[in-house]
Amino acid sequence: MRKKRLASLLAAAGLLASTVPLLAAAQASAADTDGTTTTATVQADSAYLRQKPSWHRCDAEQPASFECATIKVPLDYRRPAGRTLDLAISRVRSTNPAKRHGVLLMNPGGPGGSGLDLPVAFGEVVPPAVAEQYDLIGFDPRGVGASSPISCGLTDAEQGIDRPYHPGSFPSDVAWARTIAEKCRAKAGSVLPYITTRNTARDMDTIRAVLGERKLSYLGYSYGTYLGSVYTQMFPGRTDRFVLDSGVDPDLIWRNMFRNWATESEPAFARWTRWAAQRSGEYHLGESPAAVSKTFWDLVARADRDPIVFQGEKINGDDIRGARALFFYPAQVTPLMVALKDAAEGKPAVTPGASGPDFSMKRALAGQAGAPAEPASDNGVAVLWSVVCGDTDSWPRDPERYRRDAVRDKAAYPLYGDFASNIKPCAFWPRPLEAETPMKTPARVLTVQNEWDSQTPLASGQGLHRALKGSRMVLALGGEGHGVYLADPSSCASAPVTAYLTTGRLPARDITCRTPSPGADRQGAPAKPLPIPSGPGRF
């Protein structure tokens, strides 16, 4: 959802004098837990806590209830009186002030996803009981969108992260990774070290403070689950009702989260072969899972030898393997495979959904719908690399390590193993300023997961649940898609999440339920797509 953003709106006045000691003490306590600064320093340099957001209507084309403001946050929280960044925030107020519980801050994932529009987007689908209890709060995380956005000056070609391994092209892959790191240092080097999850969590606590709230409730998707889990560790006393939807495993950040896409694509691919075999009379890809698999790999080999020409585009085997995310959604990927098979055999492209003047097979295989729009800004990609490279020092620095891993993982996980393990810009990124956040403090939060999620697969969501001691998990068996709550009105997970948000009571135990399969008789109208970054290269 793209809207015009208001220009930066500086917070003009302090909070009421009676609230200043509360906010200063609150942030000081949080900083002590965080270990980044002293109580005395925070009390002396807490001007950013004394802001009062200057709320204005976000856009004349949006509802008047959708308000925006801009606050200031420290670039480096160790130096709170130093350089600042703009942080764009938004809200839709509680529909029933008498029942208001507090604020519900939201993050769509990414890293690099804009969350400024979430209050108005989610306002259309959020249950009335939730809308009554919360001011819905959105924000563009630091470096993103309207919050002092960063750029590395990357070309469209440089922004792609899917790079399959081939011995002959590996030197160019290394050069690409080095170039991204060098361009980012040259263009935004003074800011990059501070575009991290821990600093964004500190920004979340600043939002809480300037809104005058003692505690923060939160709804985070995908990468937003890791952001939320870090907040629970840095600010446990400020954590209220947290819903972490489509979980990132903290033990896998970040290289092994990419590699998780490879390992977990294999069971999804096997499920697809079973699905397609059961419908062999319709799709003609094979009458058994083994036959369907053979059809697929024969197609990949054929495209590697001689690219398949589909409506003027040349499709090679890497293009087809790179569609790994689509195999989590059998009804979507099967027509594409049929269309490619027909094209390889010289048949016309007549498969529904895989033809037409605006259709691009390359874009479809990459999980990109419709015709390409204007050239993409590199803001989202710049933030992605800043966060995944700056959060942890676990990235190997030797290109040879990536080469060995790519060779091994291509053999072990042939669909996507080499893509996932190939070299990334983090090999050449500056060392992080902080260590990653250990998950040691119990967190009574609710995690939510679809069984078939291409971006944060089930194993990752289960890892998040294990890492956060005291959490509960709602698992939607049969659920397909990235994002559960509010994204699918028929999800069996919806009721338990709403109950938690409106009562604050976690389920007594983990919940496993079954969501109707796509195409089955499902209740409720289809949900509008929510602004959750769900492309194959994002969390």
The question of whether 222 is a catalytic residue gets the answer yes
Tokens of 422: 């190939």
Question: Around Cβ 105, how many Cβ atoms within 10 Å?
Answer: 30
How many Å apart are CA 350 and CA 165, to the nearest integer? 33
The question of whether 166 is a catalytic residue gets the answer no
Q: Is 128 exposed, middle or buried (0-12, 13-18, 19+ CB in 10 A)?
A: exposed
Going from the C-alpha of 535 to that of each of 109, 161, 509, the distances in angstroms are 11, 11, 33
How many Å apart are CA 405 and CA 422, to the nearest integer? 7
> Which candidate in 148, 222, 246, 360 is catalytic?
222
What is the H or E stretch that residue 379 is in? Answer: helix 379-390
> Which candidate in 135, 245, 391, 453 is catalytic?
453
The question of whether 162 is a catalytic residue gets the answer no
Dihedral of CA 48/49/55/61: which sign?
positive
Q: Characterise 346 by phi-psi region: left (phi > 0), alpha (psi -120 to 50), beta (else).
A: left
User: Would you say 531 and 121 are in contact if contact means Cβ atoms under 8 Å apart?
Assistant: yes
Tokens of 291: 């036959």
Going from the C-alpha of 187 to that of each of 152, 192, 195, the distances in angstroms are 5, 9, 14
Tokens of 504: 């604050």
Tokens of 120: 């108005």
User: Would you say 205 and 231 are in contact if contact means Cβ atoms under 8 Å apart?
Assistant: yes
Tokens of 430: 């500056």
Instruction: Find, among 221, 255, 196, 247, the residue nearest to 467 by Cα.
Output: 247
How many Å apart are CA 200 and CA 187, to the nearest integer? 21
> Which candidate in 34, 405, 482, 490 is catalytic?
482
Q: How would you classify the pairing of strands 446-452 and 239-245?
A: parallel
Instruction: Find, among 447, 467, 420, the residue nearest to 250 by Cα.
Output: 467
What is the H or E stretch that residue 400 is in? Answer: helix 399-412
How many Å apart are CA 322 and CA 538, to the nearest integer? 14
User: Would you say 19 and 130 are in contact if contact means Cβ atoms under 8 Å apart?
Assistant: no
Active-site amino acid positions:
222, 453, 482
